[in-house]
Structures are given as C-alpha cells and as structure tokens.
Structure 1
Amino acid sequence: MRVNLEKRLAKAEESLARRAGGDPAPHTARWRDLVAAEKLTPRTPRPELTGRARAPKPAKPARWIPSRDELLCDEFVAVDFETANRISGASACQVALVKVAGGEVVDTLCTYLRPPEEYIVFEFSHIHGIDRGDIEDAPSWFDIADDIVDFVGDRPVYAHNATFDASVWRGLDRYYYTGTYPERFYCTCRTTRRLLPHLADHTLPTVAEFCAPGFALEHHRADSDALACAHIVAHLQRARGLHSMLV
C-alpha cells in the first residue's frame, strides 16, 4: 500500500512539473524505481480486504474441452476480457460475465476496469474502442474480486479462445494477489473445432453466426463477446447428436 501511495505521489509531482514548465524527469525516474521495487516485493494475502477472493490457487493443467457431463451442466458462466495492451494481463480494461441456467441467461456482470497505473497504456483502443477516459472512474480488479467469486461460484466457465482469457485472469490474480480464477475453465473455440469441424473457421463471429443465427455480435465488446460465447455453449448443449464426440 505504501509503494502505491508513493507511486501516485510521484505521478502527481510529474504532472505538476509538466504543467509548471519544469523538469518532470526526476519524478518519472522515481516512479520507475518504485515500479521496479514493487515487482521484486513478495505479495502477501490481505484477507481483511479480499474476503472470499483469497490468495491465488496453484495453477492446474489446462483442459480446454469439457467432458460430455461437464458440457451438460445446467448452469455455466461465459466470460470475455478486453485488455489495454499486450504487456500484461493486469492491463485488463473491461470484463463481462454471463450466467446461464436451463439454457437461459439469468444474470450478467459487465464493467470497465482501471488497470494499475503502470499498465495504463492503450495499445488496443482501435480494436475495442476503450481509452483512458472510459476507465478513469472504473473499479480495479481488486475492488470487484469478491463479486467475481460470488458470480462464478463453482460453475464451469467458458471463453472463446480461452487461452487468452485465462492468461489475463491469471495475470490479474498474480498482480493483485487474489484467488478468483475458476476451477473449471473451457474453450468454445477448441470445443467447436472438435464438434463442428465443417465450419470455415472457428473465430467467434463464424461460430456465433452458426450457433446463434439471430444474434447481432458486436465483436470486441466484452459484453457482446461473452453473450456470444454463452449462446455457443447453449447450442452445443442442445445438439445432442454431437455429444458422442466428447469423452
């Protein structure tokens, strides 16, 4: 916490120096030194703040394609992240989760996220349209960690191209020392490659168009991408003839 305050002070002094026509370099150097020192400092759990989202759990080997029984779980969650840049998963600037029960959407959670100051570098605004102005008053991942844990519960989670979303999620847990990463995480891209091999490709727009023809996808909006993923899983659940292709 102390380092975070000193980083913010260094940034504020840097900004004041620029406005006054002074030399911001000493304050910039101070901020960089603090960032470097923070990366070398072991993180410890903060249970008085994190509540249900405790320290990160040990990573398990990924198994991206669900079993037949797992696919047919009555309740599941679909997720999508958007990131500011490729530097770190901690640069996540938007997350959306969609909860499905009995084939129907029953709840959603979508919010912009404010990345740590050192990761507020918007490299992908041309893709998702999110920039610094959108996240100025947004919560951090730490702020919503308990809400994420409560929303997911013990349900299986799906993402399209889940290796990306998994790396973002784990990056957030590592940075904030939270334990929100789901126990069961599956990839609709890999699953549809196995179950729907006839498709021209297995990008989200192509698979969503096949599985949910009436759905108007707004690609790279986290809420729309997560909802598309949910529609894909729901379609696969209904397509009983495909289930023999799963173990």
Structure 2
Amino acid sequence: MSDTFTAIDFELATANYNSICSVGIVNVLEGKIVNEFYSLVRPPDNKYMWQTSRVHGIKAKHTNAAPSFLELYPSIKELLLAQRMVAHDELLDRSVLKETMKFYGLPYHELLLANLWECTSKIYRAIGFERTKLSICCELMGVELQHHDALSDARATAELYLKRDLAIEIKKLG
C-alpha cells in the first residue's frame, strides 16, 4: 500500500453537514508529513449549536471574521485534488465535504476523489481493535492528540494510517 495520501478532518457548528467551522488537512508523501493546513471556517449565518461548541470549543465569536468555505475552497481544492483520501470516519468526512460543496454550488466531482476513502476506524476494527474511537486508537498506538482540534485529528489520523502495520504486529503479540 502506498503511503502517499491526504488526511482530513472537519468540525461542525451544527448537526448540518454543511456547517463546517474548522478544517484540518495533512498531506503525506511517501510516509512523511509534507504539509499541514488548518483554518477556522465561518459556517452559514455563523450559526452554532451549544452542543457542538461544547465538544470543540469553537463559537460564533471565533469564526465571525473567518473565511467561508466558499472563500477557502481554492486553497482546499489545491490540497485535495486527485489525492488518496484518509479520514478516521470516512463516511462522515466525505459526506461533510460533499454536502458543503453542494451547499455552495461547487462541483465535488472536480476534485477527482475516489468514491470511498480509506477509513482508519474501519482499518483498526479489521485489525482487531474492539473500540476504534480516534482518542482510543491514539492512546493505544502512542499518537499525540488534541481531540476535536481539526488539525490534530487529521494529523493523528495520518499517523494511525502510517502505523497500521505496527498495529497488526501489536495485536498478534496481544
């Protein structure tokens, strides 16, 4: 398997998948992190649910002057274009990207991404980990994590993906 990929994580302001309030992207080339990108994102109407803010600590006052996803998209597109994507919950992160792009009238297909992304949660479950929450996998694999910080989550996802062979060995020794 190639160790050239891009890991991504989003934090949401509400339960709506188009309400991105922060994004973390980590580009990995041949097993080495070569680029990290983080930005706060102003969600539609800068609207938040207290439940989501309680999880990640981001509130409307933090994103009031932040760029919208539409304004940020040219930078994000450059980092994602034709990449092999990895996320800890690939269905969620892929759906968030698709829904947000649809909301802003951006054509998702122009990113040239696979229909399914690599999913570290599924990979670690297949290895035999009983619980595959990002924080649990990171603790077991010695990966540093500031949970619910989009860049830290994306970086941790990249590191977990790179450590998948080590995880198999650990489970064998078990």
Give TM-score scaled by structure 2 length.
0.86
* Rg comparison, structure with higher value: 1
1:98 equivalent in alignment to 2:30: no
1:151 equivalent in alignment to 2:79: yes
Match of 1:120 in 2: 47
List alignment gaps of at least 5 residues for structure 1.
1-71, 243-247
1:78 equivalent in alignment to 2:7: yes
The Cα offsets for residues 198-224 of structure 1, whole Å up to 9 and x where unpaired, read as x2411101212233x1x3211111111
1:191 equivalent in alignment to 2:123: yes
When residues 73 and 85 of structure 1 are mapped into structure 2, their CA distance, relative to the original with a 3 A threshold, is same
More strand by share: 2
When residues 231 and 240 of structure 1 are mapped into structure 2, their CA distance, relative to the original with a 3 A threshold, is closer
Match of 2:132 in 1: 202
Letter of the 1:76 partner, please give it.
Answer: F
Taking the aligned partners of 1:91 and 1:231, their CA distance within structure 2 comes to: 26
Checking the alignment, whether the CA contact within 8 Å between 2:3 and 2:162 is kept in structure 1 is no
Following superposition, the deviation at residue 240 of structure 1 comes to 10
Checking the alignment, whether the CA contact within 8 Å between 1:90 and 1:175 is kept in structure 2 is yes
Checking the alignment, whether the CA contact within 8 Å between 2:81 and 2:113 is kept in structure 1 is no
Checking the alignment, whether the CA contact within 8 Å between 1:122 and 1:132 is kept in structure 2 is no
Taking the aligned partners of 2:5 and 2:53, their CA distance within structure 1 comes to: 30
The Cα offsets for residues 92-134 of structure 1, whole Å up to 9 and x where unpaired, read as 10000001112111001110000111x6123311100000011
Match of 2:92 in 1: 164
The Cα offsets for residues 11-68 of structure 1, whole Å up to 9 and x where unpaired, read as xxxxxxxxxxxxxxxxxxxxxxxxxxxxxxxxxxxxxxxxxxxxxxxxxxxxxxxxxx
The two structures, once aligned, show a CA RMSD in angstroms of: 1.9
Residues 1-247 of structure 1: pairs in structure 2 closer than 5 A: 72-86=1-15, 88-117=16-45, 120-123=47-50, 124-180=52-108, 183-184=113-114, 185-194=117-126, 196-197=127-128, 199-211=129-141, 213=142, 215-236=143-164, 238-239=165-166
When residues 240 and 203 of structure 1 are mapped into structure 2, their CA distance, relative to the original with a 3 A threshold, is closer
Checking the alignment, whether the CA contact within 8 Å between 1:82 and 1:95 is kept in structure 2 is yes
Checking the alignment, whether the CA contact within 8 Å between 1:219 and 1:225 is kept in structure 2 is yes
When residues 165 and 241 of structure 1 are mapped into structure 2, their CA distance, relative to the original with a 3 A threshold, is closer
Checking the alignment, whether the CA contact within 8 Å between 2:138 and 2:144 is kept in structure 1 is no
Aligned length: 164
The Cα offsets for residues 172-219 of structure 1, whole Å up to 9 and x where unpaired, read as 01100113456122211112111x21x2411101212233x1x32111
When residues 126 and 240 of structure 1 are mapped into structure 2, their CA distance, relative to the original with a 3 A threshold, is closer
Runs of 4+ that moved beyond 3 A: 238-242
Taking the aligned partners of 1:170 and 1:182, their CA distance within structure 2 comes to: 12
List alignment gaps of at least 5 residues for structure 2.
170-174
Higher relative contact order (CA 8 A, sep 6+): 2
Taking the aligned partners of 1:166 and 1:103, their CA distance within structure 2 comes to: 22
